[in-house]
Amino acid sequence: MAPAQKQLKVLPSSDRDPTDGALFLNRELSIIEFNHRVLQMAQDPTIPLLERLRYLAIFSSNIDEFFEVRVAGLKERAQADLASPYPDGRTPVSLLKLIAQRCHALIDDQYRALNDELLPELANNGIRVLKRTELSANQTAWLRRYFKREVMPVLSPMGLDPAHPFPNVQNKGLNIVVNLEGRDAFGRDSGVAILPVPRCLPRLIHLPADLANSPHHFVMLSSVIHDNVDRIFPSMRVTGCHQFRVTRNSDMWVDEDEADDLLDAIKGELHGRNYGAAVRLEVADNCSADTVRFLREQHGLDEADVYQVNGPVNLHRVSALVDLVDRADLKFPPTTPRFSEYLGPKTDPFAALTEHDVLLHHPYESYAPVVTLLNTAATDPSVLAVKMTLYRTGADSPIVRALINAARNGKEVTAVVELRARFDEAANIGLATQLQEAGATVAYGVVGHKCHAKMLLIVRREEGRIRRYVHLGTGNYHTQTSRFYTDFSYLTSNPEIGEDVHNVFQQLTSLGGVLPMHRLLHAPFTLKSTLLELIEAETEAARAGRTARIRAKLNALSDPTVIAALYDASRAGVEIDLVVRGICCLRPGVPEVSESIRVRSILGRFLEHARVYHFHADGQDLVFTASADWMDRNLNRRVEVAVPIIDEPLKRRVTSEAIDLALEDNSNAWALDQDGTYHRVIPGENEPQHLQTRLLDRLKD
């Protein structure tokens, strides 16, 4: 059963304002709730053990980014005394207090899960992360030799004195604070040294199997340094040695209107990301109060910003165990994506797309046909031009290699590279440079609007006329993440869609007014207004007593205007089902406001990433796949596209695989309650239904 819900005050229907701040959940608190669900996956005993460790690391990495970007932004607003940017009206100061309370509790739970559940269970399976006190004499001797050979040469300890102030330690880097007694060779006795640990050193050290009597025994680098700290400070007495880590503001800001060259401007800001203002201090829980206060004051942090932890200060690094330990029985079973019946390994993609539109559902279906299409275009003498948007591609991308090959083969290659894809800026600068050197035309989109659309356009001359081939995706052109992100690829040679995509590229690379579209919805021009029109049409249908239904699968829902429109639709009686993986600022189940709205979130071995919109439309069943979530930034400040799925069999596939099965999931689904908390959906007496498992079975070869 769902936990008891806190009821909001119910006003008469005529007095309810759908834009009332009390009807909106806070975005930042919603992010925390999402990460709580990730943490629950790490605590789920039905999930393979090493995968649970991976979820624990994902939680750690997500919380890092939350502090680097969201908490950092709130601190800036609080210091500048700026008003709340949220519809719920919370002030930055009050929100920071709530965030600290919630994050302290969750991080305590994280380390309890590590120490009380995962590490003991790993040990029961022969996988151990040994503490210093658990090492044998032979293991200690081997590690001392390892330290002397591999670690000591790259360490640069800094004793603090007037000539050596506290170092500006890197964002999220491992550091050791060492308390010392005695005088050094120069007679100095400051008593404190800081030891930054270089990132080139592995954080987990694998003990030789013959030495450990096991193939899976490890030691944390911090433990090895601690055990050898006396060798770093000869003739001094070490009275304390504790790891710590500082999280810094990592959100880059570039004045695009003033920058003459966006690439150079972003390149110049990258280094500063590691040294922004401190927003969080993590430190070992056995560190003395005086030392913690010293570290906190050095970074200008409050007590609430300090997180004392019982274990490694960066649990993300512990996830290396998942790849270092070869135990298939402790991981999800491997899967092999199937090939589409129309785009097999040896199929001519142009011939296939001339006959059929093709829908691919990744990772259940292979991403290889997308790469094959691009590789074929790169060498096909009939192909004249290739245009593509690139947001995140990953290192050594076959997509980028294909574009380079196309340019070298004389094709007219245009790449719209989004340099401002957060934390991928350096990689995108590198790929832009590679493409330019190969002769491709590289554009960086439109000032003030990130290009988040996923579009590939191939222009081919066939029998004396031009035919366009298009790929539109809900996810990035990233062959690695396509293996564990669920996304749709829609491939077509439909002339109207081809012309629409051509027009979007024209707007991205050239100048001129808004170009008309046959079928595509595109932000920031027609996507939001059309969504609101479609919601209003369902609202009017419900008021007239006709069937009305809205369903959507999204990563996030936070746009106030869209939420207000959904509230109006619910009040009219529209049945609304939303599958929102992460942020959701809509309150479902509020009497006389959102009683007919249901929201759920699904997590699993794959990251639910596809965006799908479905409107009943008096039986027409309008279905779109899209690059855009229903967020203010996506609908108003980004270049996005949504494509209508016209082919009836493909439309049924999208709604079934993305929405129907998601609404039937009773194993890895969480339902959102009106107070902003989530409760896990349980099978009860029903047969367990798991969206991803069912799709793996349905779409296997």
Q: Give pLDDT tens digits for 234-243.
A: 888 999 999 9
| CATH number of the domain located at residue range(s) 349-515 in this protein | 3.30.870.10
CA atoms of 641 and 664, how far apart (whole Å) = 28
Band (19; pLDDT cuts 50, 70, 90): low
**Taking a C-beta distance cutoff of 8 angstroms, is the pair 186, 210 a contact?**
no
Secondary-structure breakdown of the chain: helix, strand, coil percentages, each rounded to the nearest 5:
40, 20, 35
CA atoms of 178 and 180, how far apart (whole Å) = 6
Where are the domains positioned within the chain?
Answer: 134-324, 349-515, 523-698
**Digit-coded pLDDT (tens) for 437-478:** 888 888 887 777 888 999 999 999 999 899 999 999 999 888
CA atoms of 182 and 230, how far apart (whole Å) = 13
Alpha helix ranges (H) inside 43-157: 49-65, 72-80, 92-112, 119-124, 137-146
Query: Can you point out the beta strands (E) in 463-507?
Result: 465-473, 485-492
User: Which residue type is seen at 325?
Assistant: V
Closest CA to 321 of 139, 128, 147, 190: 128
Band (2; pLDDT cuts 50, 70, 90): very low
Closest CA to 478 of 370, 560, 575: 370
Mean pLDDT of 108-135: 95
Query: Can you point out the beta strands (E) in 155-277?
Result: 158-159, 175-181, 192-196, 204-206, 217-220, 237-248
CA atoms of 698 and 317, how far apart (whole Å) = 35
pLDDT at 445: 72
Task: Say whether pLDDT at 266 is over 60.
Answer: no
Query: Exposed, middle or buried: residue 211 (CB in 10 Å: 0-12, 13-18, 19+)?
Result: middle
Mapping DSSP to helix (H, G, I), strand (E, B) and coil, where does residue 691 land?
A: helix
Task: Say whether pLDDT at 162 is over 90.
Answer: no
Note the pTM of the prediction, 2 decimals. 0.90
Query: What's the fold here for domain 523-698?
Result: Endonuclease; Chain A (3.30.870)
Which residues have C-beta within 8 Å of that of residue 648, sequence separation ≥ 6?
none
Task: Say whether pLDDT at 245 is over 80.
Answer: yes
Length reported for the chain: 701
pLDDT at 255: 41
**Digit-coded pLDDT (tens) for 181-229:** 888 777 777 789 999 999 999 999 999 998 888 899 999 999 999 999 9
Query: What's the fold here for domain 134-324?
Result: polyphosphate kinase like (3.30.1840)
Percentage of the chain beyond pLDDT 70 is 92
Band (15; pLDDT cuts 50, 70, 90): very low
Tokens for 459, please give them: 């222009």
Mean pLDDT of 165-188: 88
Helix axes 92-112, 27-42, angle to 10 degrees: 0
Q: Which helix (H) or strand (E) holds 352?
A: helix 349-355
pLDDT at 624: 98
Task: Say whether pLDDT at 85 is over 80.
Answer: no
Task: Say whether pLDDT at 259 is over 60.
Answer: no
Query: Exposed, middle or buried: residue 255 (CB in 10 Å: 0-12, 13-18, 19+)?
Result: exposed
**CA torsion, ordered 536, 538, 540, 545, to nearest 10 deg:** -170
Residue 137: alpha-carbon gap to chain centroid: 44
pLDDT at 261: 47
**CA torsion, ordered 581, 247, 117, 115, to nearest 10 deg:** -170
Same fold, 349-515 and 523-698: yes
Query: Can you point out the beta strands (E) in 249-394?
Result: 278-284, 306-309, 358-362, 383-390
Q: Which helix (H) or strand (E) holds 696?
A: helix 691-698
User: Which residue type is seen at 453?
Assistant: A
Mean pLDDT of 29-49: 96
Top mean-pLDDT range of 251-260, 296-305, 315-324, 410-419: 296-305
Band (317; pLDDT cuts 50, 70, 90): confident
Query: Exposed, middle or buried: residue 598 (CB in 10 Å: 0-12, 13-18, 19+)?
Result: middle
Tokens 């050791």, located at residue: 176
Band (428; pLDDT cuts 50, 70, 90): low
**Taking a C-beta distance cutoff of 8 angstroms, is the pair 474, 643 a contact?**
no
Q: What integer best gives the mean pLDDT of the chain? A: 90
| Residue 86: DSSP 8-state | S
Beta strands at 622-626 and 611-615: parallel, antiparallel or unpaired: antiparallel
Band (641; pLDDT cuts 50, 70, 90): very high
Answer left, alpha or beta for residue 156, where phi above 0 means left and psi between -120 and 50 means alpha: beta
**Digit-coded pLDDT (tens) for 679-688:** 999 988 889 9
pLDDT at 482: 92
Mean pLDDT of 161-167: 80
Which residues have C-beta within 8 Å of that of residue 557, sequence separation ≥ 6?
563, 578, 580, 583, 584, 585, 586, 599, 629, 630, 631
Mean pLDDT of 546-564: 97
Band (319; pLDDT cuts 50, 70, 90): confident
pLDDT at 420: 60
Task: Say whether pLDDT at 386 is over 60.
Answer: yes
Active site (annotated) includes residue 452: yes
Which residues have C-beta within 8 Å of that of residue 399, sequence separation ≥ 6?
371, 374, 388, 390, 393, 477, 478, 479
Tally of CA atoms within 13 A in the half-sphere of 141 that contains its CB: 4
Q: How far apart are the first and last CA of the chain?
A: 38
Mean pLDDT of 401-411: 95
Which residues have C-beta within 8 Å of that of residue 697, sequence separation ≥ 6?
none
Closest CA to 609 of 475, 452, 441, 516: 475
pLDDT at 568: 97
Q: Which of the residues 217, 316, 452, 609 is marked catalytic? A: 452
